[in-house]
Amino acid sequence: MERYFIYLGVLLTVIILIPLYRVLRGPTLFDRMLGAGAFGTKTMVLVIVIGFIFDRIDMFIDITLAYAVLNFIGTIAVARYLAAMVKRSK
């Protein structure tokens, strides 16, 4: 049972590393931000799976909720900042 979650965590880590290509290579600023957002949302799942591996799911779920809120606020903040920059320059 635990071995299943360990394999799942390794697979999720490989999947999480793929958007880093877009963060590093992305042709525009928005591509980098999109890759960072995808990285964050997938990391949430990895944190839950780590909670199942360590059998401390009650603690790791709260970490996951805080991480989800921070990831959402970060993406929204960057989007609002760029939109406000355009609006001010017009």
Partner 1 sequence: MPVNFIVSNIIVSVGVFFLLVGSIGLIRLPDFYSRTHAVGKSDTLGIILVVLGLVVHEGLSLNSVKLVMIMVFVGLTGPTATHALAKAAFRFGLRPWFRSDSADGTHEGEDHVDSESVGHEDEMDGGLGLDVEACAGLLRGDPDGDDDDEEGGGPACPLKRKEP
Instruction: Identify residues 53-82 at the interface with partner 1 (CB under 8 A).
Output: 57-58, 61-62, 64-65, 68-69, 71-72, 75-76, 78-80, 82
Q: Is 4 exposed, middle or buried (0-12, 13-18, 19+ CB in 10 A)?
A: exposed
Residues across the chain: 90
* 52 touches partner 1 (CB under 8 A): yes
CA of 29: how far to CAs of 23, 41, 62, in Å?
A: 9, 19, 31
Chain residues that interact with partner 1, rule: CB under 8 A: 1, 4, 8, 11-12, 15-16, 18-19, 21-22, 27-31, 33-35, 37-38, 41-42, 44-45, 48-49, 52, 57-58, 61-62, 64-65, 68-69, 71-72, 75-76, 78-80, 82-83, 85-90
